[in-house]
Amino acid sequence: MTAVKQNIGVIGSLGDLGSQLVRRAKKYGFLVREFDIADRHTNTEELSDCEIIHVCAPLENFTVPPVRGLIILHDSVMDTSRRFNDQLDQKAAVVHLLMNSAQRAVVAGDQPNAEAAASHLQQLGFNPISMPVDEHDRIIARSQAPLALLCDALLPELFQLDKEGLLTPSGETLAETLRSRTLIWTPATRRAILRNPQLRELISELSNILDQAQPPDK
């Protein structure tokens, strides 16, 4: 529990990450103000009362009003948060909450306010680790992004093949895995994941693997 209760704001409090963060913050004794994405432009005064502001909403077409508190950007692609931070004159911290069993919270060590963000996340029960933006995004490109890519590329066709009974057991497993992801990821979330610049390196490696698997030309 925190020694002194802080006011924190959560923008995007109705989303998957935002709602989990709200529950966790209340559990650890923080005073939480919740902001839906739809009313994000009309709460400057309330946001100014918050000592820490978590932005859990997609950053596309987004504007953060002038506030006095520490802003923490939560895009799962840290490069997106880094570029958005330029609009904030590099005043925000860049974080990705992995929401896994290890309670890992990745803090961009090459972005401002990393130590303050890590200390706050510890108060929320997370296990923070620091790494550069590009290193984090390479990890995410190889762990989270492939599912988002397959959702967009394959899922409509897999739905149809499943209806026709044309999927193998592995195909059924793939379809069910992708289907479960679409229940959690909104289209905006998938677009955000696919903006990862480190994805191109992975795609290039996959293309090389495919080329090497082909029979030699006669």
**Chain segment 47-83, per-residue pLDDT in tens:** 888 999 999 988 877 787 778 899 999 999 999 999 9
* Per-residue pLDDT tens digits for 76-131: 999 999 999 998 989 999 999 999 999 999 999 999 999 999 999 999 999 999 99
User: Is 160's pLDDT higher than 60?
Assistant: yes
Question: Which pLDDT score is estimated for 153?
Answer: 94
Question: Which pLDDT score is estimated for 218?
Answer: 62
What percent of the chain stands above pLDDT 70?
A: 95
Burial class (CB in 10 A: 0-12, 13-18, 19+), 35: buried
CB 10, CB 22: distance < 8 Å: yes
User: Is 43's pLDDT higher than 90?
Assistant: no
Question: Which pLDDT score is estimated for 217?
Answer: 78
User: Is 2's pLDDT higher than 80?
Assistant: no
Average pLDDT over residues 32-38: 83
User: Is 1's pLDDT higher than 50?
Assistant: no
Question: Which pLDDT score is estimated for 169?
Answer: 98
Average pLDDT over residues 32-47: 73
User: Is 183's pLDDT higher than 60?
Assistant: yes
Residue-range domain boundaries for the chain: 7-131, 145-203
Superfamily of domain 7-131: NAD(P)-binding Rossmann-like Domain (3.40.50.720)
Reduced to 3 states (helix: H, G, I; strand: E, B; else coil), residue 215 is coil
Closest to 199 (Cα-Cα) out of 155, 153, 130 = 153
Which sign does the torsion angle of CA 160, 141, 99, 42 carry? Answer: negative
Q: Which residues pair with 19 in a beta bridge?
A: none
Question: Which pLDDT score is estimated for 3?
Answer: 55
Q: For residues 86 and 91, what is the distance between their CA atoms, to the nearest angstrom?
A: 8
pTM score of the predicted model: 0.89
Query: In what helix (H) or strand (E) does residue 129 lie, and over which residues does it extend?
Result: strand 127-131
